[in-house]
Amino acid sequence: MRRTTRTIRQACAMAVVGVLLAGCGLLGGTKNGRGPLAGMDMQGAAERADGMFYATVGEIKPKIEWVHDATTTGSCDVTRYWTVMTVISEQRRGNFLGVVERSWKASGYRIDLVNPSKDLPAIIAKSPDGFGVQVEVGYKGQAFFEVTSPCVDESKVAAPTKVANGRMYEGKIPTPNIRSDFWSAETPVPDPTPSS
């Protein structure tokens, strides 16, 4: 009788542990069709990341030139990178990042970090469906964008299909080499003056 009771208790305990692990995502969660990204694989996540980037740069006026950079994959996530070839001057970095931040907020992204560094400012955010997005301005005013997916189903990932709007480069992407009358200007954006 004691052995039967102990076996039943162990079976019940194992069933409870299994339910808890599955509920926490430790037994697959999103990878096995549960959660907000059910059925999305790495290729779908890469395409979603591309769309997030294209929507963001579409809001930047005047437009900037950019090129595709690397794509990396983890065990269940994918990250796309883009490099901006337009020089973003120190005096215009705040304006540039402000446009990006407003675009992300308008899309429902949660802003997790704003680094106001004079030399290397950055913004890190998260989309409502769990994609991490980042923009940073680095050496010589070169901006970089990055989008990382949450955990999705494993698959092959193809290169982006949209052609970059900047020049193509063989090998390493150089420092920014496109000057913009607006983004590269070494004066602050004039304050709007009220008309009299």
pLDDT tens profile 34-43: 445 778 999 9
Residues 122, 125, 127: CA angle, nearest 5 degrees: 150
pLDDT tens profile 81-111: 999 999 999 999 999 999 999 999 999 999 9
**Assigned domain for 194 exists:** no
Burial 58-71 (b: 16+ CB within 10 A, else e): eebeeebbbbbeeb
Stretch 15-29: mean pLDDT: 34
Residues 7 and 92 in one domain: no
Q: What is the CATH number of the domain that holds 135?
A: 3.30.2030
Residues 68 and 84 in one domain: yes
Residues 48 and 133 in one domain: yes
Residues 83 and 170 in one domain: yes
Residues 52 and 105 in one domain: yes
Residues 42 and 11 in one domain: no
Residues 154 and 81 in one domain: yes
Sign of the CA dihedral running 36, 41, 42, 45: negative
**Assigned domain for 196 exists:** no
How many structural domains is the chain composed of? Answer: 2
The boundaries of the domain holding residue 162 are 36-189
pLDDT computed for residue 162 by the predictor? 93
pLDDT computed for residue 119 by the predictor? 86
What pTM value is reported for the model?
0.79
List C-alpha distances in Å: 30 to 14, 74, 139, 174, 192: 22, 15, 38, 38, 48
**Assigned domain for 195 exists:** no
Q: What type of residue is 117?
A: S
Stretch 158-184: mean pLDDT: 93
Residues 75 and 8 in one domain: no
